[in-house]
């Protein structure tokens, strides 16, 4: 019989650096900054941590050295852009399994001053030959990557391209507006629909405002059990559901692959909803931070996770269903990867940071009203095969 993580793991501290071009800071500096914010948030210190998990870098020693973690076990997790979610998953299972009482999870990205490791393939930059033997970018439709989803979506559902393009634009406009209210976001500006539509094309049909930003930054969480959490703080946040699915190259091997949904997101979402007891996600969830590396990913995931009928998400976003203030479900109130920034190993953790703050009512100008249940979605991979981690977080009962 499969066990459950529901109500067995709590977050009692969180930290996140501003996401910037941190030319004057190392990855260690960013980890220290994020982790110390988490320590101060929880009223704890490095000596209270019994184990650690890290996303980013090449070894768990990076976190141990930066924080002087006193010989505790530290593991480095790697799962492409889903790394942050998988870091949390591994740590949560260790806490729920009774192996540790209080643990640290952290992730960081420091790519701006290391050209050999730069992630510009997301924005149509250096060749991604190292991926799977082809000259590809993650955006370019010719390679069967994310750019494929938008025209395929239009064709599959018999829609007008101009209507779907405006749906993608509504996602970008929404996320920019949310990021403008977030002091830790990288791109703090607003963009109109007209500016979106007239922006330079990077890899048709994805333009400048369809693609995420990739600055430097770090984020951290402190996990413990719900039994210990009240001794640390009254407004702790509890893990309610968790799901994970990893593809097996269906998009490259199966001719019936439709390029209008991510099966891994559907499966991971189903697992998380079942664990959390969520039957009507659009009505029950209050806030969600999803992997909008490209606007079309947010569009498709909105359908994969049951927030909109198939072929209708482009209408839902234009109708304001996912707006922060008046919408039914506030999606990416932190600005998303578009405006806040995609941090590779830290993204799933900074999404959880946002949901944690929203559930506590401490998100400042971008606070969503009456938040009691939030979702994080982390996704990584390359064309036609992905890793997806879904977390559902709630206030204490």
Active site residues: 81, 342
Answer whether 373's CB lies under 8 Å from 280's CB. no
DSSP 8-state symbol, 113: T
Answer whether 180's CB lies under 8 Å from 339's CB. yes
Answer whether 218's CB lies under 8 Å from 371's CB. no
Q: Please tell me the distance from the alpha carbon of residue 374 to that of residue 352, in angstroms, as a whole number.
A: 9
β-strands 385-395, 373-382: how paired? antiparallel
Cα 341–Cα 343–Cα 348 angle in degrees, nearest 5: 100
Query: Among the residues of 199-280, which ranges form H helices?
Result: 229-232, 250-253, 263-276
The tokens of 180 are what? 């403008």
Nearest C-alpha neighbor of 87 from the set 107, 60, 108: 107
DSSP 8-state symbol, 18: P
Q: Please tell me the distance from the alpha carbon of residue 196 to that of residue 204, in angstroms, as a whole number.
A: 14
Give the max Cα distance, the chain: 60
Reduce the DSSP state of residue 30 to 3 states and report it. helix
């Amino acid at each position: 019989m499969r066990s459950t993580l529901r109500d067995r793991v709590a977050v009692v501290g969180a930290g996140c650096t501003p996401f910037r071009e941190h030319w004057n800071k190392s990855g260690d500096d960013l980890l220290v900054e994020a982790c110390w914010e988490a320590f101060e948030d929880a009223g704890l210190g490095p000596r209270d941590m019994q184990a650690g998990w890290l996303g980013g870098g090449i070894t768990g020693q990076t976190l141990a050295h930066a924080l002087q973690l006193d010989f505790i076990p530290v593991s480095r997790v790697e799962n492409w852009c889903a790394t942050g979610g998988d870091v949390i998953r591994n740590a949560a299972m260790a806490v729920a399994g009774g192996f540790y009482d209080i643990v640290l999870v952290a992730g960081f990205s420091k790519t701006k001053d290391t050209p050999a490791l730069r992630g510009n393939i997301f924005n149509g930059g250096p060749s991604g030959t190292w991926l799977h033997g082809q000259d590809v970018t993650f955006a370019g439709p010719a390679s069967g990557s994310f750019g494929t989803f938008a025209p395929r979506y239009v064709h599959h559902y018999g829609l007008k391209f101009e209507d779907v393009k405006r749906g993608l634009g509504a996602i970008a406009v929404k996320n920019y507006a949310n990021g403008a209210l977030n002091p830790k976001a990288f791109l703090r500006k607003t963009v109109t629909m007209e500016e979106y539509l007239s922006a330079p094309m990077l890899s048709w049909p994805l333009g400048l405002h369809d693609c995420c930003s990739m600055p430097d930054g770090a984020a951290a969480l402190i996990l413990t059990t719900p039994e210990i959490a009240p001794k640390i703080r009254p407004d702790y946040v509890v893990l309610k559901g968790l799901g994970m699915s990893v593809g097996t190259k269906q998009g490259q091997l199966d001719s019936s692959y439709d390029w209008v949904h991510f099966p891994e997101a559907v499966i991971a979402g189903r697992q998380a909803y079942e664990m959390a007891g969520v039957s009507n996600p659009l009505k029950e969830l209050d806030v969600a931070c999803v992997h909008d590396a490209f606007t079309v990913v947010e569009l498709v995931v909105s359908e994969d996770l049951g927030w909109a009928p198939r072929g209708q998400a482009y209408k839902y976003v234009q109708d304001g269903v996912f707006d922060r203030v008046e919408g039914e479900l506030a999606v990416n109130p932190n600005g998303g990867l578009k405006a806040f920034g995609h941090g590779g190993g830290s993204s799933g953790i900074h999404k959880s940071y946002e949901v944690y703050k929203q559930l506590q009512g401490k998100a400042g100008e971008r606070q969503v009203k009456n938040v009691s249940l939030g979702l994080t979605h982390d996704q990584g991979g390359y064309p036609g095969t992905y890793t997806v981690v879904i977390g559902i977080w709630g206030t204490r009962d």
